[in-house]
Structure 1
């Protein structure tokens, strides 16, 4: 069953319905669902879909032409091409009046083994394909390559595309559609440990318990996600150990370049380069305190990929137990009791998404155009933070929020903590609403004393309603 991606499908359909030649570039991290999106889109169309192989250009031309013939002109099955230009001429001659979709997936595999490919591909587009009623879709998982070699103005293909789709992880609402039988807390955990990545979401079977799914995927030597970070890092980078140690340092609490460099015993220049690459592929992100972005002292790096975040928090400490097939014991003794702690940051991300989307929909006290986290000195000169800050850049208004993914209800101390942080963010923003997000609800005191005019009390169920 195909889930979500309504916007992306709409872009593809609208482009397809345009007359003449069209071209779309689709890119995003591995396992994100690019191939599934393409195959779903072309299933009722005249189309040819080829996934490039990690082999020579000649071998790819043979395989690509065989796939094209099988899809479009099956009566010519057995004909083979080894020459790229000859194949493109054949494609041009085979595509008549009816719109034809030609999809090339994992284009970096070909372009990286033959530097002439992109220029020759450009020549074929300009002289042959652009004169036909063809919809060309090219896709790739190597984000850095796609941005530098396909999308940048230095690329031979620059100016040929009509649009591009950067495929991102599912949000928590679409992720929930993969496990409809789970309760909302379980759905949130599934989103947290998968990061909304399509492939990982399909691994969770809601006919069995969440515990069993986590054990089977992460805490068994045969589990799909047990070695996943290493597998992905090896596909992206040559020196896996360096990247692994930097991620471990971030997981351990180091969030500034100099702190990470101290932990991994590397120069800040080397660490900065590694962080830049990990940011490009979406493992890490550079985070600034909202409304104080120009303050370089308030720049942190954090793991933003949910699967990496979960893996590096729990798997390294349990490797010996897992390798001895005692991962279930380790999970039940240690991991299960710490899931709420792990979910703290995930829940904050979910609440920020809620504030941004509901603000843009006009359902809050101001139209939130940006959302983030604030940290700095409190009024008492003690370091503090605000979990959720939604700001309206146009109206100069702000929403502040506090999030708790805990078994206890939010009570008077937590309520007053947020109220005591009034005025800490940039004072050009008028604070118009305060929002409390709680897994377990609110105490009688909070319900009775909350300012109904300015304060909203929301549970996890409200986020999913």
Structure 2
């Protein structure tokens, strides 16, 4: 069953319905569902679908030629093409007036070994195919290649595309469609352990409990996700040692360049190079304080992929136990009791998405244009009455640049009700934001609900939400 991607399918339909030559680019990190999206779109359409592999220029040409022949001359075996131009000419002569889709999936695998491929493609789009009803879809997982070699101004294909789709992970609402019978709490955990990645979500068996799925996927030697992080890194990096060390540090909460470099004993430029590559493949992102986005000192590196975060938090410690077939016991004793703690940052991400989604449509009395986090310091009195500073953060900060207003929020994925002290702390920290923003709403997000104290609170600026609220 195909799930979600309504906007992307609508974009592809609009692209396809327009007559004449056309090109669109689809890119995004591995396992995100690009090929599945294309396969869904091309159903019942005349298509050449070729997936390139790491086999070099000549072998890719040979395999691509076979796909072309299979469409136009099925069963013919003794025809070969010596150049990509010869194959493109063959397509031109045989497609007639029919509308045809040409898909080259994992384009970088081929183009990296064939410097002329993109230039030849550009020439045929501009000349030979210019009056044809041909729709070209170029797809790739190597984000840096797709952005620099296909989409940038320096690309031979620049100016030829009609549209582009950068495919992202599913949000928590679409991820929930994979497990419609789960409780909202289990839907959230499912989103947390998969990070909304299509491939990982498709591995969840909704007939089984969330615990059974976690054990089957992560805590068994043959589990699909037991070795997934290592496999992913090996596909992207020639030497995964330093990259693995960097990811390990980020997962453990060391988020700044100098801290990571010091922890793994490498020079900062070396670490920065690997961080940039991790960002380019969609595994890490730079997190900035929302009110100080130009302040380089307020930059943190965080794992964009929550599956990676889950893996690095729990699997390395459990490897020996999993190897002897006792992973389920480990999960029940060492992981499940602290699963809600792991879900803390995931829940914050869900709440930020919910706030932006509703803030854009004016749900909170102003036009929200950005949502993020804020961190800094505050002055407090200790028990002896002395002033001292401490680091603080605000889970959700939504800004309206139009109205110069801000919303601040606190998120708790715990089996404990939010009480008065958490509300008062949020109000206090809201005063730390720059004075140009007036805090107009205080939003609390709670898994377990609220204490009776809130029943007597008649503050219209306070919004009380639960996990069920954000799934409505």
Tell me the TM-score normalised to structure 1 length: 0.97
SS in 2 for 1:53: coil
8 Å contact from structure 1 (residues 66, 78) kept in 2:
no
In the alignment, what sits opposite 2:413?
405
- The Cα RMSD (Å) is 1.4
Distance (Å, rounded) in 2 between the aligned partners of 1:178 and 1:293:
35
Verify: 1:456 aligned to 2:463, yes or no: yes
1:167 to partner: Cα distance:
0.4
Q: 1:432 aligns with which of 423, 428, 440?
A: 440
Worse-matched range after superposition: 251-260 or 415-424: 415-424
Number of equivalenced pairs = 464
1:72 to partner: Cα distance:
4.4
8 Å contact from structure 1 (residues 365, 433) kept in 2:
no
1:75 to partner: Cα distance:
7.2
SS in 1 for 2:263: helix
- In structure 1, the gaps of 5 or more residues are none
In the alignment, what sits opposite 1:284?
284
8 Å contact from structure 2 (residues 21, 125) kept in 1:
no
Distance (Å, rounded) in 2 between the aligned partners of 1:248 and 1:450:
46
8 Å contact from structure 1 (residues 20, 132) kept in 2:
yes
Distance (Å, rounded) in 1 between the aligned partners of 2:429 and 2:215:
41
Distance (Å, rounded) in 2 between the aligned partners of 1:450 and 1:226:
50
In the alignment, what sits opposite 1:253?
253
Measured at CA, do residues 401 and 450 of structure 1 come closer, stay the same or move farther in structure 2, by a change above 3 Å? Answer: farther
Distance (Å, rounded) in 1 between the aligned partners of 2:133 and 2:295:
52
Q: 1:420 aligns with which of 428, 439, 446?
A: 428
Worse-matched range after superposition: 440-449 or 70-79: 70-79
Measured at CA, do residues 115 and 342 of structure 1 come closer, stay the same or move farther in structure 2, by a change above 3 Å? Answer: same
1:255-278 deviation digits (Å, cap 9, x = unpaired):
111100011100011111111111
In the alignment, what sits opposite 2:345?
345
SS in 1 for 2:220: coil
1:73 to partner: Cα distance:
4.6
1:412-449 deviation digits (Å, cap 9, x = unpaired):
11111112223211110111111100001111112322
1:395 to partner: Cα distance:
1.1
SS in 1 for 2:439: strand
1:85-109 deviation digits (Å, cap 9, x = unpaired):
1110011112222211111101111
In the alignment, what sits opposite 1:293?
293
In the alignment, what sits opposite 2:384?
none
In the alignment, what sits opposite 1:12?
12
Worse-matched range after superposition: 29-38 or 120-129: 120-129
1:168-211 deviation digits (Å, cap 9, x = unpaired):
00000000000111100000011111110000000001100111
Verify: 1:391 aligned to 2:391, yes or no: no
8 Å contact from structure 2 (residues 32, 168) kept in 1:
yes
SS in 2 for 1:419: helix
SS in 2 for 1:148: helix
In the alignment, what sits opposite 2:71?
71
Distance (Å, rounded) in 1 between the aligned partners of 2:390 and 2:62:
66
8 Å contact from structure 1 (residues 410, 446) kept in 2:
no
Verify: 1:187 aligned to 2:195, yes or no: no
SS in 2 for 1:261: helix
1:148 to partner: Cα distance:
1.4
8 Å contact from structure 2 (residues 56, 110) kept in 1:
yes
Worse-matched range after superposition: 304-313 or 380-389: 380-389
8 Å contact from structure 1 (residues 432, 454) kept in 2:
yes
Worse-matched range after superposition: 74-83 or 343-352: 74-83
- In structure 2, the gaps of 5 or more residues are 381-388
SS in 2 for 1:386: strand
